[in-house]
Amino acid sequence: MAPGIAHGFCVLSDFADLHYKVSGQYNSNDEGGLNWSDPKVGVEWPGSTFNIKQRDKNFPLLGEIDFG
């Protein structure tokens, strides 16, 4: 997993190129995330219509994540 947590992107144009540097090989067993719309995180996303992958919609809220 890349160092840190909650990497997110919001594209406001019709097209975007994204270059993302990672710290190691992809490992699907190490994949996880934070729910993009968690009100406790407080991100003020612009607009009201979003294209969110089902996987990302199903990620837990911050208070539900076991960091142990």
2-49: per-residue pLDDT in tens? 466 677 788 889 999 988 777 778 888 877 888 999 999 999 999 888
* Residue of 9 and 54 predicted with greater confidence: 54
Q: Is residue 10 part of a domain?
A: no
Mention every residue, 6+ apart, whose C-beta is less than 8 A from residue 48.
none
CB 33 within 8 A of CB 9: no
> CB–CB of 41/34 below 8 Å?
yes
Instruction: Give me the domain span that covers residue 62.
Output: 34-68
Is the pTM for the entire model greater than 0.75?
Answer: no
Q: For residue 3, what pLDDT is reported?
A: 61
State the total domains in the chain.
Answer: 1
Q: Would residue 38 count as lying in a domain? A: yes
Angle formed at CA 52 by CA 26 and CA 34, multiple of 5 degrees: 60
